[in-house]
Amino acid sequence: MEIKGLTESLGVAKTSLADQQRNLKQVQNLVDDLGKETQTFEIKLEISDLKKDVNNQTALIAEREKEISELEASIALLK
């Protein structure tokens, strides 16, 4: 694949990642709001699980950001 194609693909990946980050932030805010209300024990456990899921997704997004940065650096060297 030529550099132009790689650059375009990288742009699409960055846009997708930004969308995922925005969506995850919205989910995180909703989960935080749920946690502020009085809940049953079972609901508190569900909220705890949701927070763990958000943390896992945050870590995955951070890894993807790092990969994209490394790809950008590699493409810059090829130019």
Task: Report, as an integer, the average pLDDT of 58-68.
Answer: 96
- The reported pLDDT for the residue numbered 54 is 97
Question: What are the tokens at 58?
Answer: 């945050």
Query: What are the pLDDT digits (tens) for 66-76?
Result: 999 999 999 88
pLDDT value for 1: 57
End-to-end alpha carbon distance in the chain: 14
Q: Please give the Cα distance from 18 to 59 (Å, whole number).
A: 14
Render pLDDT for 20-46 as a digit per residue (tens, 0 to 9). Answer: 999 999 999 999 998 888 889 999 999
What global pTM score does this model have?
A: 0.82
Domain limits for position 47: 3-78
The domain total for the chain is 1
Q: How far apart are CA 33 and CA 44, in angstroms?
A: 12
Task: Report how far residue 75's alpha carbon sits from residue 53's, in angstroms, rounded to the nearest whole number.
Answer: 33
